[in-house]
Structure 1
Protein backbone atom coordinates (compact mmCIF):
# COMPACT_ATOMS: atom_id res chain seq x y z
CA UNK A 1 0.00 0.00 0.00
CA UNK A 2 1.28 3.43 -0.91
CA UNK A 3 1.44 5.22 2.46
CA UNK A 4 1.93 8.63 0.83
CA UNK A 5 -1.30 8.25 -1.17
CA UNK A 6 -3.14 6.92 1.89
CA UNK A 7 -1.97 9.95 3.86
CA UNK A 8 -3.00 12.33 1.08
CA UNK A 9 -6.50 10.81 1.01
CA UNK A 10 -6.92 10.93 4.79
CA UNK A 11 -5.60 14.51 4.95
CA UNK A 12 -8.19 15.44 2.31
CA UNK A 13 -11.03 13.77 4.25
CA UNK A 14 -9.96 15.62 7.39
CA UNK A 15 -9.79 18.93 5.51
CA UNK A 16 -13.29 18.62 4.04
CA UNK A 17 -14.89 17.18 7.18
CA UNK A 18 -15.75 13.60 6.20
CA UNK A 19 -15.63 11.70 9.50
CA UNK A 20 -13.36 8.66 9.55
CA UNK A 21 -11.32 6.67 12.02
CA UNK A 22 -8.44 4.27 11.72
CA UNK A 23 -9.39 1.10 13.56
CA UNK A 24 -9.32 -2.68 13.48
CA UNK A 25 -12.36 -4.15 11.77
CA UNK A 26 -13.16 -7.66 12.95
CA UNK A 27 -16.37 -8.41 11.04
CA UNK A 28 -16.66 -9.25 7.36
CA UNK A 29 -17.48 -6.13 5.36
CA UNK A 30 -18.72 -5.38 1.87
CA UNK A 31 -15.29 -3.90 1.03
CA UNK A 32 -12.29 -5.32 2.90
CA UNK A 33 -10.91 -2.86 5.43
CA UNK A 34 -13.84 -0.42 5.25
CA UNK A 35 -17.01 -0.15 7.29
CA UNK A 36 -19.59 2.59 7.66
CA UNK A 37 -20.53 2.99 11.30
CA UNK A 38 -23.32 5.49 11.93
CA UNK A 39 -21.94 8.02 9.46
CA UNK A 40 -18.26 7.45 10.26
CA UNK A 41 -15.99 5.67 7.79
CA UNK A 42 -13.95 3.09 9.67
CA UNK A 43 -10.69 2.20 7.94
CA UNK A 44 -8.53 -0.83 8.71
CA UNK A 45 -5.34 -0.24 6.73
CA UNK A 46 -4.16 -3.80 7.39
CA UNK A 47 -7.21 -5.25 5.61
CA UNK A 48 -7.81 -2.54 3.02
CA UNK A 49 -7.15 -3.78 -0.49
CA UNK A 50 -7.61 -0.66 -2.62
CA UNK A 51 -7.04 2.94 -1.55
CA UNK A 52 -9.59 4.25 -4.04
CA UNK A 53 -12.32 2.40 -2.14
CA UNK A 54 -11.79 4.90 0.69
CA UNK A 55 -12.82 7.73 -1.63
CA UNK A 56 -15.88 5.93 -2.93
CA UNK A 57 -17.14 5.10 0.57
CA UNK A 58 -16.31 8.63 1.77
CA UNK A 59 -18.37 9.81 -1.19
CA UNK A 60 -21.39 8.02 0.23
CA UNK A 61 -21.04 9.99 3.44
CA UNK A 62 -20.43 13.27 1.63
CA UNK A 63 -23.38 13.06 -0.76
CA UNK A 64 -25.88 11.52 1.64
CA UNK A 65 -28.90 13.59 2.53
CA UNK A 66 -27.82 15.43 5.70
CA UNK A 67 -30.61 14.07 7.91
CA UNK A 68 -29.79 10.46 6.87
CA UNK A 69 -25.99 10.76 7.17
CA UNK A 70 -25.76 9.73 10.87
CA UNK A 71 -27.65 6.52 10.05
CA UNK A 72 -25.26 5.23 7.37
CA UNK A 73 -24.33 1.79 8.61
CA UNK A 74 -22.73 -1.28 7.03
CA UNK A 75 -24.06 -2.16 3.57
CA UNK A 76 -25.76 1.15 2.92
CA UNK A 77 -27.84 -0.02 -0.02
CA UNK A 78 -29.33 -2.92 1.91
CA UNK A 79 -29.69 -0.96 5.13
CA UNK A 80 -31.02 2.12 3.35
CA UNK A 81 -33.85 0.11 1.84
CA UNK A 82 -34.57 -1.41 5.22
CA UNK A 83 -34.74 2.07 6.76
CA UNK A 84 -37.33 3.28 4.26
CA UNK A 85 -35.13 5.06 1.75
CA UNK A 86 -36.35 4.58 -1.82
CA UNK A 87 -34.47 2.36 -4.27
CA UNK A 88 -34.28 5.17 -6.86
CA UNK A 89 -32.74 7.47 -4.24
CA UNK A 90 -30.21 4.82 -3.29
CA UNK A 91 -29.28 4.16 -6.95
CA UNK A 92 -28.91 7.89 -7.56
CA UNK A 93 -26.69 8.23 -4.52
CA UNK A 94 -24.52 5.31 -5.71
CA UNK A 95 -23.93 7.12 -9.00
CA UNK A 96 -23.33 10.43 -7.22
CA UNK A 97 -20.84 8.79 -4.81
CA UNK A 98 -18.94 7.46 -7.82
CA UNK A 99 -18.89 10.91 -9.44
CA UNK A 100 -17.81 12.43 -6.09
CA UNK A 101 -14.92 9.94 -5.84
CA UNK A 102 -13.81 10.88 -9.36
CA UNK A 103 -13.94 14.58 -8.47
CA UNK A 104 -11.90 13.86 -5.33
CA UNK A 105 -9.23 11.80 -7.10
CA UNK A 106 -9.00 14.50 -9.79
CA UNK A 107 -8.70 17.23 -7.13
CA UNK A 108 -5.92 15.26 -5.45
CA UNK A 109 -4.05 14.81 -8.74
CA UNK A 110 -4.31 11.03 -8.58
CA UNK A 111 -5.15 8.70 -11.48
CA UNK A 112 -8.70 7.52 -12.16
CA UNK A 113 -7.57 3.90 -11.89
CA UNK A 114 -7.12 4.47 -8.16
CA UNK A 115 -10.93 4.56 -7.91
CA UNK A 116 -11.65 2.30 -10.88
CA UNK A 117 -9.17 -0.46 -10.08
CA UNK A 118 -9.20 -3.68 -12.09
CA UNK A 119 -10.60 -5.77 -9.23
CA UNK A 120 -13.76 -3.67 -8.93
CA UNK A 121 -16.78 -2.74 -10.93
CA UNK A 122 -17.33 -6.24 -12.34
CA UNK A 123 -14.59 -5.89 -14.92
CA UNK A 124 -15.84 -2.53 -16.16
CA UNK A 125 -13.00 -0.39 -14.82
CA UNK A 126 -11.59 0.55 -18.22
CA UNK A 127 -15.06 1.54 -19.47
CA UNK A 128 -15.60 3.69 -16.39
CA UNK A 129 -12.23 5.38 -16.79
CA UNK A 130 -13.16 6.15 -20.39
CA UNK A 131 -16.61 7.38 -19.35
CA UNK A 132 -15.23 9.73 -16.69
CA UNK A 133 -12.34 11.11 -18.71
CA UNK A 134 -12.62 14.79 -19.60
CA UNK A 135 -15.41 15.58 -17.13
CA UNK A 136 -17.90 13.07 -18.49
CA UNK A 137 -19.52 10.07 -16.81
CA UNK A 138 -22.63 9.79 -14.69
CA UNK A 139 -23.89 10.91 -11.31
CA UNK A 140 -22.48 14.42 -11.53
CA UNK A 141 -25.82 16.07 -12.42
CA UNK A 142 -26.93 15.20 -8.88
CA UNK A 143 -23.83 16.89 -7.50
CA UNK A 144 -24.85 19.97 -9.46
CA UNK A 145 -28.46 19.74 -8.25
CA UNK A 146 -27.14 19.71 -4.68
CA UNK A 147 -24.99 22.81 -5.43
CA UNK A 148 -21.77 20.90 -4.88
CA UNK A 149 -20.09 21.42 -8.26
CA UNK A 150 -18.45 24.71 -9.13
CA UNK A 151 -21.03 26.85 -11.00
CA UNK A 152 -18.60 28.32 -13.55
CA UNK A 153 -16.04 25.53 -13.95
CA UNK A 154 -18.51 22.64 -13.76
CA UNK A 155 -17.78 19.02 -12.95
CA UNK A 156 -15.33 17.67 -11.73
CA UNK A 157 -14.58 20.97 -9.97
CA UNK A 158 -16.34 21.24 -6.64
CA UNK A 159 -17.36 24.31 -4.67
CA UNK A 160 -18.27 22.19 -1.65
CA UNK A 161 -17.51 18.60 -0.80
CA UNK A 162 -20.30 17.87 1.68
CA UNK A 163 -23.95 17.91 0.64
CA UNK A 164 -25.97 20.34 2.71
CA UNK A 165 -29.30 20.26 0.85
CA UNK A 166 -32.06 17.68 1.09
CA UNK A 167 -34.54 16.47 -1.48
CA UNK A 168 -37.44 18.86 -1.82
Structure 2
Protein backbone atom coordinates (compact mmCIF):
# COMPACT_ATOMS: atom_id res chain seq x y z
CA UNK A 1 0.00 0.00 0.00
CA UNK A 2 1.31 3.41 -0.91
CA UNK A 3 1.96 5.96 1.83
CA UNK A 4 -0.86 8.08 0.37
CA UNK A 5 -3.37 5.21 0.52
CA UNK A 6 -2.24 4.27 4.03
CA UNK A 7 -2.78 7.87 5.20
CA UNK A 8 -6.22 7.84 3.56
CA UNK A 9 -7.11 4.51 5.19
CA UNK A 10 -6.03 5.81 8.60
CA UNK A 11 -8.13 8.93 8.09
CA UNK A 12 -11.15 6.78 7.28
CA UNK A 13 -10.46 4.54 10.29
CA UNK A 14 -10.33 7.64 12.51
CA UNK A 15 -13.73 8.79 11.22
CA UNK A 16 -15.27 5.35 11.74
CA UNK A 17 -14.00 5.22 15.31
CA UNK A 18 -15.21 8.77 15.92
CA UNK A 19 -18.79 7.85 14.98
CA UNK A 20 -18.70 4.82 17.29
CA UNK A 21 -17.73 1.84 15.15
CA UNK A 22 -15.20 -0.62 16.49
CA UNK A 23 -12.21 -0.82 14.12
CA UNK A 24 -9.24 -3.02 14.95
CA UNK A 25 -6.00 -3.09 13.03
CA UNK A 26 -4.71 -6.63 12.82
CA UNK A 27 -3.22 -9.18 10.46
CA UNK A 28 -5.86 -10.90 8.33
CA UNK A 29 -5.54 -14.16 6.39
CA UNK A 30 -5.35 -14.16 2.61
CA UNK A 31 -8.49 -14.92 0.66
CA UNK A 32 -10.99 -12.68 2.44
CA UNK A 33 -13.95 -11.34 0.46
CA UNK A 34 -12.27 -7.93 0.26
CA UNK A 35 -8.49 -7.75 0.61
CA UNK A 36 -7.48 -6.31 3.97
CA UNK A 37 -10.90 -5.75 5.53
CA UNK A 38 -13.53 -7.90 7.16
CA UNK A 39 -16.55 -7.59 9.39
CA UNK A 40 -16.18 -9.41 12.68
CA UNK A 41 -18.56 -9.36 15.67
CA UNK A 42 -20.11 -6.04 14.67
CA UNK A 43 -16.85 -4.21 13.96
CA UNK A 44 -14.24 -3.96 11.27
CA UNK A 45 -10.86 -5.64 11.16
CA UNK A 46 -8.30 -3.96 8.93
CA UNK A 47 -4.96 -5.20 7.68
CA UNK A 48 -3.30 -2.13 6.17
CA UNK A 49 -0.63 -4.26 4.49
CA UNK A 50 -3.32 -6.12 2.52
CA UNK A 51 -5.93 -3.39 2.03
CA UNK A 52 -6.08 -2.59 -1.69
CA UNK A 53 -8.73 0.14 -1.74
CA UNK A 54 -9.29 2.41 1.29
CA UNK A 55 -12.85 3.13 0.09
CA UNK A 56 -13.76 -0.48 0.85
CA UNK A 57 -13.60 0.49 4.53
CA UNK A 58 -16.48 2.90 4.00
CA UNK A 59 -18.66 0.41 2.18
CA UNK A 60 -18.14 -2.33 4.77
CA UNK A 61 -18.73 0.20 7.56
CA UNK A 62 -21.95 1.12 5.77
CA UNK A 63 -23.19 -2.44 6.24
CA UNK A 64 -22.66 -2.06 9.98
CA UNK A 65 -24.10 1.45 10.19
CA UNK A 66 -27.44 0.82 8.48
CA UNK A 67 -28.63 -2.04 10.69
CA UNK A 68 -30.21 -1.53 14.13
CA UNK A 69 -27.80 -1.42 17.05
CA UNK A 70 -29.15 -4.69 18.49
CA UNK A 71 -28.28 -6.56 15.29
CA UNK A 72 -24.93 -4.88 14.62
CA UNK A 73 -22.98 -6.87 17.23
CA UNK A 74 -23.98 -10.15 15.59
CA UNK A 75 -22.60 -9.22 12.17
CA UNK A 76 -19.74 -11.09 10.56
CA UNK A 77 -18.50 -11.44 6.98
CA UNK A 78 -21.36 -13.79 6.08
CA UNK A 79 -23.83 -10.94 5.54
CA UNK A 80 -25.94 -13.11 3.27
CA UNK A 81 -26.83 -15.24 6.33
CA UNK A 82 -28.25 -12.29 8.28
CA UNK A 83 -31.96 -11.77 8.64
CA UNK A 84 -33.33 -9.21 6.19
CA UNK A 85 -33.62 -5.75 7.72
CA UNK A 86 -35.90 -3.19 6.08
CA UNK A 87 -33.76 -0.33 4.79
CA UNK A 88 -30.58 -2.08 5.94
CA UNK A 89 -29.28 -3.71 2.78
CA UNK A 90 -26.62 -3.35 0.14
CA UNK A 91 -28.04 -0.23 -1.50
CA UNK A 92 -28.39 1.60 1.83
CA UNK A 93 -24.80 0.62 2.74
CA UNK A 94 -23.70 2.11 -0.58
CA UNK A 95 -25.65 5.32 0.04
CA UNK A 96 -24.22 5.54 3.56
CA UNK A 97 -20.69 5.10 2.19
CA UNK A 98 -21.31 7.89 -0.34
CA UNK A 99 -22.47 10.22 2.44
CA UNK A 100 -19.36 9.35 4.47
CA UNK A 101 -17.11 9.96 1.49
CA UNK A 102 -18.75 13.38 0.94
CA UNK A 103 -18.36 14.17 4.65
CA UNK A 104 -14.65 13.35 4.40
CA UNK A 105 -14.23 15.31 1.17
CA UNK A 106 -12.98 12.31 -0.80
CA UNK A 107 -12.90 11.95 -4.56
CA UNK A 108 -15.72 9.75 -5.81
CA UNK A 109 -13.29 7.18 -7.21
CA UNK A 110 -12.01 6.43 -3.70
CA UNK A 111 -15.35 4.80 -2.91
CA UNK A 112 -16.35 3.74 -6.41
CA UNK A 113 -12.96 2.42 -7.51
CA UNK A 114 -12.68 0.38 -10.67
CA UNK A 115 -11.71 -2.74 -8.73
CA UNK A 116 -15.05 -3.02 -6.96
CA UNK A 117 -18.80 -3.18 -7.30
CA UNK A 118 -18.72 -6.13 -9.71
CA UNK A 119 -17.84 -3.93 -12.67
CA UNK A 120 -20.51 -1.31 -11.89
CA UNK A 121 -18.28 1.27 -10.18
CA UNK A 122 -18.31 3.72 -13.10
CA UNK A 123 -22.11 3.63 -13.32
CA UNK A 124 -22.52 4.10 -9.57
CA UNK A 125 -19.97 6.92 -9.60
CA UNK A 126 -21.90 8.66 -12.40
CA UNK A 127 -25.29 8.23 -10.69
CA UNK A 128 -24.14 9.58 -7.34
CA UNK A 129 -22.18 12.45 -8.92
CA UNK A 130 -25.35 13.43 -10.82
CA UNK A 131 -27.41 13.36 -7.60
CA UNK A 132 -29.18 10.07 -8.30
CA UNK A 133 -28.83 8.80 -4.75
CA UNK A 134 -29.67 5.11 -4.87
CA UNK A 135 -30.49 3.93 -1.35
CA UNK A 136 -30.90 7.39 0.19
CA UNK A 137 -34.65 6.90 0.57
CA UNK A 138 -33.96 3.83 2.69
CA UNK A 139 -31.64 5.85 4.92
CA UNK A 140 -34.38 8.46 5.29
CA UNK A 141 -36.96 5.77 6.09
CA UNK A 142 -34.60 4.48 8.79
CA UNK A 143 -34.43 7.98 10.31
CA UNK A 144 -30.76 8.54 9.48
CA UNK A 145 -31.23 11.52 7.13
CA UNK A 146 -33.86 13.54 5.29
CA UNK A 147 -34.41 13.96 1.57
CA UNK A 148 -34.45 17.35 -0.12
CA UNK A 149 -37.83 18.37 -1.49
CA UNK A 150 -39.87 15.74 0.34
CA UNK A 151 -43.04 16.80 2.10
CA UNK A 152 -41.99 15.14 5.38
CA UNK A 153 -38.60 16.93 5.48
CA UNK A 154 -38.70 19.72 8.07
CA UNK A 155 -37.49 23.13 6.96
CA UNK A 156 -33.80 23.52 7.73
CA UNK A 157 -33.32 19.78 8.27
CA UNK A 158 -30.11 17.99 7.42
CA UNK A 159 -30.62 16.46 3.96
CA UNK A 160 -28.75 13.70 2.20
CA UNK A 161 -25.84 13.35 1.59
CA UNK A 162 -25.52 14.90 5.03
CA UNK A 163 -26.53 12.52 7.79
CA UNK A 164 -28.63 13.18 10.85
CA UNK A 165 -27.34 9.92 12.38
CA UNK A 166 -24.26 7.99 11.30
CA UNK A 167 -25.35 4.84 13.13
CA UNK A 168 -28.88 3.48 13.04
CA UNK A 169 -30.45 3.04 16.44
TM-score (norm 2): 0.86
2:70 corresponds to 1:67: yes
Matches within 5 A, 1:20-59: 20-26=23-29, 28-59=31-62
| Residue 160 in structure 1 maps to residue 159 in structure 2 | no
SS at match of 1:136: coil
Deviation string, structure 1 residues 80-136 (Cα, Å, up to 9, x no partner) = 1xxxx13xx488511100000000000000011111100111222111111111432
Q: Deviations over 1:15-74 (max 9, x none)?
A: 111111000012531111111111010001111110000000011111112221111012
Give, in whole Å, the separation in 2 of the partners of 1:122 and 1:104.
Answer: 21
Q: Secondary structure, in 3 states, of the residue corresponding to 2:69?
A: coil
> TM-score when scaled to structure 1?
0.86
| Matching of residue 122 in structure 1 with residue 125 in structure 2 | no
- Give the number of aligned pairs: 157
Structure 2: gaps of 5 or more residues: 147-152
CA contact (8 A) 2:87 2:138 kept: no
Bigger helix share: 1
**Structure 1: distance between partners of 2:116 and 2:55:** 10
CA RMSD of aligned residues (A): 1.8
Gaps of 5+ in 1: none
Secondary structure of 2:145's counterpart equals coil
* SS at 1:42 equivalent: strand
